Structure 1
Amino acid sequence: MEIQLNGNDLGFHEIRSILNGEASVRIKDEAWTKIDGSRAVIDSHLKMGKVMYGVNTGFGKLSDTVISASDTEELQLNLIRSHACGIGEPFSKNVSRAMLLLRANALAKGYSGVRRETIQLLVDCINAGLYPIIPSQGSLGASGDLAPLSHLALVLVGEGEAIYKGHKMNGRAALKKAGLQPIRLKAKEGLALINGTQAMTALGTISYLEANDLAHFADAVASLTFESLRGIVDALFPETHAVRPHIEQAEVAASILSYLKGSLLTTKQGELRVQDAYSLRCIPQVHGAIRQVLKYAEEKLLIEINSATDNPLVFTDSGQIISGGNFHGQPIAFAMDFLGIGMAELGSMSERRVERLVNPQLNDLPAFLSPRPGLESGLMIIQYTAASLVSENKTLAHPASVDSIPSSANQEDHVSMGTTAARHAYQIIENSRRILAIEAICAAQAASIRGPEKLAPKTKKLYENIRSIVPEITSDRSLSPDIEAMSLAIKNRNIKV
């Protein structure tokens, strides 16, 4: 399969296909016309000796320093080298590849004044499976993701470090092994490569995709917990949700009911008790609100994925080159903070269900689901692990977007911290996935005690999926490998729900 980029209609399905190695990439034929036109405007203005920010001037506070025509290429290379000061653990392979893809898509819109060769090299790196090593820390999320994108750009000029066929090497060697040639940056091209929001948006996109998968898994595993605790189905009936018409709330209620159809374990109001605790009764309200968060993040990310976010922008029809602020990451910063908060609550709700599964004061199951309570601790401490992750998520969910530190001698006096927000959101998703893995282990153990034959057909299938990864706990054992195996299966979408 081949995905064609024009900067206007790249979606999540296409991104996922490319990152999974199921599709190659090329620039649409009609996009080249706009790309060539924007480059012609740059060249024309250079010939006329016009002063253009970042083309023949310095950067940031140095924007009033005019650069001679003979030094414009050196200016662009110096920009990349000086701005490549990221630190910390590198972004994952998929984030780096997504950054290449999203930068190529943004440049393909034809508002950046870059040459064909530059965009084509981004595409060639994607198709060759070559990706830059990009440190994850160091971006303020305004003036673009300058540090991360500079590390990406270094590889394109034959510097920096990259991974090719599983091996780490310098950029020039990686390009050579892939049969590619480094580019020599022309006027504006260095700035066009790094003045954008592609680090936060790439990580945000991957975060959204994983969060969306996790939200659907949460509905499934909550249904298994609901059964194991003999939950009251009346709270899921559509009448309640129709009078508070949040669409997502009703969707979750219907989803949980579909999982529970045919169960011999669920109860009716007044049969065992009149009401369930909120962690069961309010699943539609909480999970539904989290779906609303996901929809907000989806909307903002799709806009950003298909936007021109560098500066200045080149408008071919009018011949104007306009300095603006599309590189400012505030929309994505807010979306990532919101996503992190939503996913923290998904984990928090899950941990409360774990507590109800293992606490003998809250159910009629053996204490801590242990085969021999007292002699064996069973699933006592697995709840501690979940609680620890919930607590960590609360710290990570503090909004990064409310902070700003001026930079570039106060020229850039308000920044978004959007990349920090995306990094924190992704860590929250990783933590919440492990919390839900813990719930899956506990719910399956409780179902083993209740009798799997009493489960609804859909939850029984989920139970069997869990059991294929985590065997029944018949005696105390270290559960760390089980948690990690379950979490990985959820992440890789190996659990069918």
Structure 2
Amino acid sequence: MTLQTNTHQVTLDYYTLQDLRNIVNTTPRLALHPDVVAKIEAGAQFVLEKAAEDRYIYGTNTGFGSLCETRVENEEMEMLQFNHVVSHAVGVGEIVPQKLSRLMLFVKLLTFRTGHTGISMAPVQRLIDMWNHDIVPAIPKKGTVGASGDLAPLAHMALPLLGLGKVYYKGEVVDSAGVLEKMGWEPLRLKPKEGLALTNGVQYINSRGALALMRIEEMIKTADLFAAMSSQAFSTSETFYQAPYHETTYHPERKTVAANFRKVLEGSNHHELPTCNKSKQDPYSFRCIPQVHGAIRQAVNFAIDIIEKECNGVSDNPLFFPESDQILFGGNLHGESTALALDFVAMATSEMAYISERRTYQLLSGMRGLPDFLVNQPGLNSGFMIVQYTAAALMNENKVLCTPASVDTIPTCQLQEDHVSMGGTSSYKLETIVDNAEYILGIELLTAAQAIDFNKPLQLSPATQKLYDEFRQHFTFMERDRVMSDDMERARTYCAENRAKWIEQFGLA
């Protein structure tokens, strides 16, 4: 990944999901605002002063977890922090993408910027230097229970500061020790509390969740567009998205979906065709699009709000308050808010895919003047019959993955940590649900385009005609049976790569 020459100064401001998207996608050089530096330095000095006193300070001069009553002598505090990082680096599985590691690093800086974690400038600056030189920690995917922080993933993020572990460097995963040597960087010696500050917090599950939500936020808008294509192909009524109907409710998200429909379908004659249902009672997968897509938007907005708050807040324990001369102990290391939000939005994303799959099914059903399975000579040809099977298989997986991970807590650490969030699992399965949903939405667009070609009297709206024409430049009409796997793979990629463009092009809210 090529770093930009512009510099982003990390401030004390509130970072929205869009801000995080811009940071992780444009990868500017990073620097700290002077106010942030002052807060970090004040917090670090406060920790050193308190560590010199004859008192227990958890994670600073004591053991960790259920070993919190074990006092560690002052001369062993550096070893304590080193041991903490290396002993907690227990992640397993594939190495996560660089984009996720980068976002984790940035979100960790947002926790450090307040000075409440007690970390000094040396580790913070080393993380910034790594970012600025495109040296990205290599972090295994699995191993966090999402309480007492994402200990394992964050320990792997911290290892390169000590000259241990692995990093992405020039496109390869290599030992960090060699990279530090090339850069002329010495391994850091951690001061009191710094090992714990590096590993405590839920930056892993927050970052995984943020990346998933960046995709979902775009998908739900283009889902309106694809549903509008399907609605025309199926010759639906126009009444279900009319403004007066939706003024009877208090759900702004429904109104947004209906407004998107009115915008992109203006000029279409789909509701005037002889095949349109005269009773205006279209199947729910069409007639209830504003209600279902609107509810999904509500869940997505809720999850975004939670993730933004979590990314901007301080996730660590204990926290240090130099201004009031306080050290406070609590549970800001617990990822329950994130885990619940991700489990919730997983269900919503699955529903977005499910209603899309149902529209695909309806288009293949031989109704509204369309041929069975959208192919000439059905029987000799199977057409899109088995395309829907793949969508059904993906939906089955999504439904299984909707089981909430957050309700299946498993006690750890001799019952000291007797309730954990399992937000790591929530984040993994959400990612898979999003992947499957991308396929299913791509299948809907493939199917809608095929159905439109059979709906000869149909006059598409100017907006959707543009989408159709563009799509047909890449995906041809199925004249007779052919291998469709490649089309389905390409449709998923094509839709994902063009989401942002379509949102702007068609003015989707």
TM category (shorter chain) comes to: over 0.9
Q: Secondary structure at the match of 1:469?
A: coil
Instruction: Name the amino acid aligned to 1:281.
Output: R
1:126, distance to aligned residue in structure 2 (A): 2.0
Q: d(CA) in 1 for partners of 2:312 and 2:401?
A: 28
Bigger mean CA offset, 43-52 vs 13-22: 13-22
Q: d(CA) in 1 for partners of 2:243 and 2:187?
A: 60
1:408, distance to aligned residue in structure 2 (A): 0.5
Matched residue, 2:494: 489
Contact 2:235 2:368 in 1 (8 A): no
Matched residue, 1:370: 375
Matched residue, 1:161: 166
Q: 1:428-477 CA deviation, whole Å, 9 max, x = no partner?
A: 11111110010011011112222598211111122123223322222322
Matched residue, 2:435: 430
Match of 1:326 among 319, 332, 338: 332
Matched residue, 2:506: none
Q: d(CA) in 2 for partners of 1:161 and 1:60?
A: 26
Matched residue, 1:38: 43
Alignment of 1:69-468 (within 5 A): 69-177=74-182, 180-267=185-272, 272-274=277-279, 275-360=281-366, 362-451=367-456, 454-468=459-473
Q: d(CA) in 1 for partners of 2:472 and 2:27?
A: 30
Contact 1:197 1:309 in 2 (8 A): yes
**Percent of residue pairs bearing the same amino acid type:** 38
Q: d(CA) in 2 for partners of 1:18 and 1:380?
A: 43
Matched residue, 1:62: 67
Instruction: Name the amino acid aligned to 1:491.
Output: A
Where structure 2 has 5 or more consecutive residues not aligned to the other structure, the ranges are 1-5, 504-509
1:146, distance to aligned residue in structure 2 (A): 0.5
Contact 2:150 2:205 in 1 (8 A): yes
Contact 1:369 1:446 in 2 (8 A): yes
Instruction: Name the amino acid aligned to 2:443.
Output: I
Matched residue, 2:32: 27
Shift in alpha-carbon separation, 1:392–1:178, aligned structure 2, 3 A: farther
Q: d(CA) in 2 for partners of 1:128 and 1:480?
A: 40
**What is the TM-score of this pair, normalised by structure 2?**
0.94
Q: Secondary structure at the match of 2:498?
A: coil
Bigger mean CA offset, 442-451 vs 293-302: 442-451
Bigger mean CA offset, 183-192 vs 335-344: 183-192
Count of aligned pairs: 496
Instruction: Name the amino acid aligned to 1:283.
Output: I
Instruction: Name the amino acid aligned to 1:87.
Output: V
Shift in alpha-carbon separation, 1:87–1:35, aligned structure 2, 3 A: same
1:239, distance to aligned residue in structure 2 (A): 1.2
Q: 1:39-85 CA deviation, whole Å, 9 max, x = no partner?
A: 01111012223321011110001011111111111111111111111
Q: Secondary structure at the match of 2:271?
A: coil
Q: d(CA) in 2 for partners of 1:445 and 1:49?
A: 76
Q: d(CA) in 1 for partners of 2:101 and 2:494?
A: 23
Q: d(CA) in 2 for partners of 1:151 and 1:81?
A: 8
Task: Let me know the Cα RMSD of the aligned residues.
Answer: 1.8
**What is the TM-score of this pair, normalised by structure 1?**
0.96
Bigger mean CA offset, 87-96 vs 460-469: 460-469
Shift in alpha-carbon separation, 1:478–1:63, aligned structure 2, 3 A: same
Q: 1:369-406 CA deviation, whole Å, 9 max, x = no partner?
A: 11332222111101000011111111101111111111
1:181, distance to aligned residue in structure 2 (A): 4.4
Bigger mean CA offset, 176-185 vs 89-98: 176-185
